[in-house]
Amino acid sequence: MLIIKFKFNVKSSTVEREPKVLKIMKKLLTIAVILFISCNTNKTYKYIEHINDPDLIGDGYTLKDKEAVIIKANNDEDAYSQAYEKFSISKKVSKDMNEAYGHSAIPVSFEILNDKGEDISSKIDVLAKDSVEKSLDKSIGGMKTAIKEMYDSNQKLIEFKLKDCPVKILSAKPVEQEYSNYKDIRLSWKNISKKTISAIRFKWKGENAFGEPADMGVKTGEGGGFSDDKLRPGKSDYGEWSILSRDLKKVTKAWVYEVAFEDGTKWELNN
């Protein structure tokens, strides 16, 4: 009698096929994780603001770059939107500071660089860029409260710093030039510190008869000057500066922003 035996190695077959299934599942899981991470990871950009920085002496300005700020965004358009928002706020704050104190840094333009160091501004569709800017210009109106709070806080800080100023402004007024219709500006001040002063830098603002920023010769509405006459503690002094103003009616504000002492130390309003 012929007996035929059949051997079914079910266990072995299952063991051999299972690793292949697991490998496929692992590959699919890895691909899914990579896709998820790539879709949810923001790109890194650098926002660089170009400003006109006021010179310490005179009314000139120097074009400078502010320190780069890192921006995280999903795409170029999102990055540009964030950059334009920063630039708009910066311009608003600068405008308010110039109106209050004058001679503040003025934002003029900005760059938004990708990870290759390329400015993406020119790569964005003109219509998309215009849409972003119009939308943000409207929303900036709703941000006035936050900007005002920041501005008021900065004003309080400056006023507090001015109270610590070693020089007190005693008077500030326009003076007419002899044999001319032009007006100059005259300041008087006092050293209220306990140290001898070697130099002082001043700022001032003025208006015409209509309450508008007056012509100050070089710049409308504001100007500045310095004195390098030695001034001992408790002593007073005065100075006149030729600003060739045609309509200066009133000096609305005058203040000191830097003082150099004989011992080599300095006081600065911005520090």
* Cβ–Cβ < 8 Å for 208, 252: no
Nearest CA among 207, 217, 222 for reference residue 97: 222
Model confidence at 56, pLDDT cuts 50, 70, 90, reads low
Measured CA to CA in angstroms, residue 205 lies from 192, 211, 215 at distances of 23, 12, 10
Which pLDDT score, from 0 to 100, does residue 10 have? 47
Model confidence at 34, pLDDT cuts 50, 70, 90, reads low
Q: Which amino acid is at 266?
A: K
- Please name every residue paired with 169 in a beta bridge, in sequence order, or none if there are none: 189
**Number of neighbouring beta carbons within 10 Å of residue 244:** 14
Would you state the structure tokens that stand for residue 133, as one six-digit string? Answer: 């800017």
Phi, then psi, of 264 in degrees rounded to 5: 95, -10
- Please name every residue paired with 239 in a beta bridge, in sequence order, or none if there are none: 187
Instruction: Give the separation between CA 174 and CA 237, rounded to whole angstroms.
Output: 17
pTM score, two decimals? 0.47
Q: Which amino acid is at 214?
A: A
Instruction: Give the separation between CA 27 and CA 223, rounded to whole angstroms.
Output: 70
Question: Above pLDDT 90, what percent of the chain?
Answer: 24
User: What SS3 state is found at 212?
Assistant: coil
**pLDDT reading at 260 higher than 80:** yes
Q: Which CATH number among 3.40.50, 3.40.1350, 2.60.40, 2.40.70 corresponds to the domain 165-268?
A: 2.60.40
Nearest CA among 113, 112, 103 for reference residue 52: 103
Least confident range from 24-28, 80-84, 107-111, 231-235: namely: 24-28
Which pLDDT score, from 0 to 100, does residue 174 have? 92
**pLDDT reading at 71 higher than 80:** yes
Residue labelled with tokens 């209050």: 100
Maximum separation of any 2 CA atoms in the chain, in Å: 146
Nearest CA among 232, 229, 230, 222 for reference residue 254: 222
| Better-predicted residue by pLDDT, 137 or 85 | 85
Model confidence at 232, pLDDT cuts 50, 70, 90, reads very high
Would you state the structure tokens that stand for residue 108, as one six-digit string? Answer: 């003029």
How do residues 177-227 score in pLDDT, each as one tens digit? 877 888 999 999 999 999 999 999 998 888 989 888 888 876 677 888 999
User: What SS3 state is found at 267?
Assistant: strand
How do residues 97-144 score in pLDDT, each as one tens digit? 776 656 678 888 889 999 888 898 878 777 767 777 777 666 655 555
Instruction: Give the separation between CA 59 and CA 55, rounded to whole angstroms.
Output: 7
**pLDDT reading at 13 higher than 90:** no
Give the DSSP letter string of 165-231. -SEEEEEEEEEEPTTSS-EEEEEEEEE-SSS-EEEEEEEEEEE-TTSSBPB-SSSBSEEEEEE---B
Domain ranges of the chain: 43-161, 165-268
* Cβ–Cβ < 8 Å for 55, 201: no
Model confidence at 82, pLDDT cuts 50, 70, 90, reads confident
- Please name every residue paired with 57 in a beta bridge, in sequence order, or none if there are none: none
Nearest CA among 241, 242, 270 for reference residue 256: 270
Number of residues that this document lists for the chain: 271
